[in-house]
Amino acid sequence: VEGAASSGQRWIGMSVPYAESDDLHISDPRVQERVDRLFAACEKNLKGFDRPLVEKAFRLARWAHRNHKRASGEPYIVHPLDVATILVEEIPLDSTSVAAALLHDVVEDTEVDLDVIRSEFGPTMRSLVDGLTKISGVFESRSIGNAENVRKLVLSMASDVRVILVKFADRLHNMRTLEALREGKQQKIARETLDLYAPLAHRFGLFRVKNELEDLSLRALEPDAYYDIVNELKATRDERERLVASFIEPFKERLREAGIQFEIYGRPKHIYSIWGKMQRQSKTLDEIYDLLAIRVVIDTEQGEDERRACWSVYSIVTDLYTPNTSRIHDYVTRPKSNGYQSLHTTVFGPSGRPFEVQIRTRRMHEIAERGVAAHWRYKENVEDDGADPDLDSALSWVRDLLEAPQADQPQGFVDDLRLNLYDNEIHTFTPLGHLITLPLHATPVDFAFQVHTEVGFHCIGAKVNGKMVPLSATLQSGDQVEIITSKKQTPNPDWMKFVVTHKAQSRVRAWTNEKRRKAMELGKEIWDKRAKKAGLSTVEGDVRGYSVTLKFGSAQDMYYEIGTGHHDVDALIRTLKGEQKVDGEKGASELERAFQAFVSPGKRNEGPSIVLDGEDGYNLATEYASCCTPIPGDKIFGFTSRNGVVKIHRASCRNAPNLYVSEPDRIVELSWSREKDAIYSVGLRVMGEDRQGLLNDLTDIISKTFKMGIRSVAVDSEEGFFEGLITLNVSDLEQLKSVMRRLNRVAGVSGVYRLEV
């Protein structure tokens, strides 16, 4: 066996002779001490401890790592032993998870493979070790390769949460022994721990693990600040202990008189939390007054009495000491999204110093300290199919992440995971009083998507506490939010500028990408038909060359511009074939020439409609630019021609950048007047699948439904594809948008776009 291993042979699909004896006597005292501690912790903390399973896993791990050493010079086996011990002491689950912790590195670092794990321990252990192997180094960078590993991590979480819990224990041991590494490596590991492992531990409710990961990261990243706080806390410890004791003694007496079974103790703030508050508030440690914290853990039966018990203790402490009524957080009635429950209040103690008091039951305390791990332990006692609604709720965000539309895009998946690790939460309510938990800075659109994806897709407005607010408004805890929806509404890409939840961002991004994909497909279809007719290639490589010549970023960008009607394919083909425009019309397509024939008069009534910003502007000589045909509601600017006439352009006009750069002194800032009943000519390009009666359907909607005048219609139909240009009279942008939305719903129509020439 020793010879085979040293020659690099792997043990595949067969038993491995790794046990030299049946006892656990180890000659190395460093290893023996850890073995004794692990098995003592297992006996104490695990229900139904399967000793033979854990012993067997230890023997295989010891044999597989027999030739390995850690950076500290210790035998490598001390690392899996310590990881397993951390798991049992900090996140106690079951014997299988302890065995997996012992074996978590064997497949990646030794000649033992997954087939050996399966043959020796069964499929469940193989799955756990496989998950731990796949996510090794998962957060080392944001490259696509490692991003795919992030997705594997979340998949593992969804299938068996023990994978990530073992990984937390692994990372915690690495952080405890970080000083054995060179400084640069320490900083890198500490940074990724602070960026992702600690927030992820928080998301799973593992507060003890999260706090220690943060403290150890701070020690590596800001050692001077870390040790300054540590030394100051040591220097003031006696004073703090005296203050805590003077607070607790009369409180204890009152609790005993009330017949409450409890445990009470001072709860020290962890160092990273203190450092963060000093940074945010620009204060010294002496100026941080909430370092004094008390926790009361009540022994009571699980159920409705838990809430009553917490409020009974609250009543006692606020009777005894003066409460700060602005500092109360009821996480008992409204638990955090990771399952955390506790009642927090601040009172002024006998010395006048503020004390933060946390009140919770024993069950709440277990979940508060160990989060999803506590749910897992409770799950062992659930009857029937073993389903645990609390565990399901705690993992719902994982499933939601996997169901996001871009879940198969690795880098977007990493970004969504980071977004999901929010720390601060707000509690909002539906009109019926249902609780919706959201991250800080969430908006009504985030709320809508949290209620249901369809509500998010169709939201057009929101009422907060009975008053209309913008969709970009920031919600506060306690807000009651009513979402107003319309079947006509679709997601607005601009929502991406203010939504903060991963669900809202992923759904809006997916909808936008799908809309772009359809436009590109349509554009490619138009190109292929017109290009073949003109004798141009439709081969991908050739089209890529055409797009470069036409100054598009890529062939896909060109297809998109054609599909959305922003570029006329015939004009692009003429440019590629070297045909030069002779005058304003000869270079245009038939559809564009039809439009230009009618649009030149611009506004169809007499009287001023444009004003200079800050002036009346009634004496302005103006013309409407036919390239972009502005109408009221459009953002506009003026360009002064050589003869003094101001040409009015839309701010989004494709000629605007060139005009602003080449002759900025001729730009005039303009706005619309409040004039009513003016009529403007606008061209719409309508594309889609040709069918009988399509043109009639379109014109009926314009003339009969909206009672608007149609100035011209030009149609081009070829091989089942329809393209039409309709010039119509409108009064403003809102009316135009209403028409476009309605035309878009006509059967066979794939796109309706405002024409620019």
Question: How do residues 602-659 score in pLDDT, each as one tens digit?
Answer: 444 344 456 655 454 445 677 888 778 888 888 888 888 776 778 888 887 877 767 7
- Estimate the share of the chain in helix, then strand, then coil, as percent rounded to the nearest 5: 50, 15, 35
Q: Which of 220-234, 387-401, 719-733 has the highest mean predicted lDDT (pLDDT)?
A: 220-234
Q: Could you please report the per-residue DSSP string of 237-250?
A: HHHHHHHHHHHHHH
C-alpha 664/C-alpha 687 separation (Å) is 37
So what's the pLDDT on residue 420? 54
pLDDT at residue 13 in the model: 38
Say whether 579 is catalytic: no
Give the C-alpha separation, 157 to 370, whole Å: 16
Query: Is the pLDDT higher at 120 or at 562?
Result: 120
Instruction: Please tell me the predicted confidence (pLDDT) of residue 78.
Output: 92
Distances (CA, A) of 239 to 61, 211, 246, 295, 420: 48, 24, 11, 19, 41
Q: What is the pLDDT of residue 10?
A: 39
pLDDT at 484: 87
Q: Is the pLDDT of residue 293 over 90?
A: no
Q: What is the side-by-side order of every strand in the sheet holding 622-624?
A: 610-612, 667-672, 636-640, 646-650, 622-624
The residue among 196 and 405 whose pLDDT is bigger is 196
Is 140 an active-site residue? no
Average pLDDT over residues 716-735: 82
Residue 115 has pLDDT above 70, yes or no: yes
What pLDDT is stored for residue 650 in this prediction? 86
> For 492-506, what is each residue's pLDDT tens digit?
888 988 998 878 888
Neighbour count for residue 56 (Cβ, 10 Å): 18
Does position 400 have pLDDT exceeding 70, yes or no? no
Query: What is the Cα–Cα distance from 719 to 735, expressed in whole angstroms?
Result: 33
pLDDT confidence of 331, banded at 50, 70, 90? confident
CB atoms within 10 A of CB 261: 12
pLDDT value, residue 303: 67
Q: Which of 50, 89, 109, 130 is catalytic?
A: 109
pLDDT value, residue 44 = 92
> Considering 20, 33, 36, 108, which one is annotated as catalytic?
108
Distance between CA atoms of residues 455 and 449, nearest Å? 6
Instruction: Please choose, from the candidates 655, 646, 653, the residue with its C-alpha nearest in 3D space to the C-alpha of residue 631.
Output: 653
CA distance 220 to 201: 19
pLDDT at 256: 93
With a pLDDT cut of 90, the percent of the chain lying above it is: 19
Question: Can you state the angle between helices 555-563 and 569-576, rounded to 10 degrees?
Answer: 140
Which range scores top for mean pLDDT: 12-21, 278-287, 302-311, 572-581? 302-311
Do the strands 293-298 and 749-754 form a parallel or antiparallel pair, or are they unpaired? unpaired
Q: Which of 212-226, 257-271, 338-352, 601-615 has the highest mean pLDDT?
A: 212-226
Residue 582: the pLDDT is: 32
Paired tokens of 418:
């980071």
Q: Which two tokens stand for residue 664?
A: 């900025």
Q: Is 360 helix (H, G, I), strand (E, B) or coil?
A: strand
* Amino acid sitting at position 748: G
Query: For the chain, what is the mean pLDDT?
Result: 78
- List beta partners, residue 638: 648, 668
Q: Would the pLDDT of 85 be above 90?
A: yes
Buried residues in 720-741 as b, exposed as e (16+ CB within 10 A): ebbbbbbbbbbbebebbeebbe
pLDDT over 80 at 393, yes or no: no
Residue 97 is predicted with a pLDDT of 92
Is 265 in a helix, a strand, or coil?
strand
Determine the pLDDT at residue 8. Answer: 39
Highest mean pLDDT: which of 350-359, 558-567, 746-755? 350-359
The CA distance from 194 to 214, in Å, is: 6
Residue 377's DSSP bridge partners are none
Q: For the sheet containing 459-464, what is the strand order? A: 467-469, 459-464, 481-485
Please give the pLDDT value at position 304.
63
CA contacts within 13 A on the Cβ side of 27: 2
Percent of the chain surpassing pLDDT 70 = 77
pLDDT score of 586: 38
pLDDT tens string 32-61: 899 999 999 999 988 889 999 999 999 999
Residue 41 has a pLDDT of 93
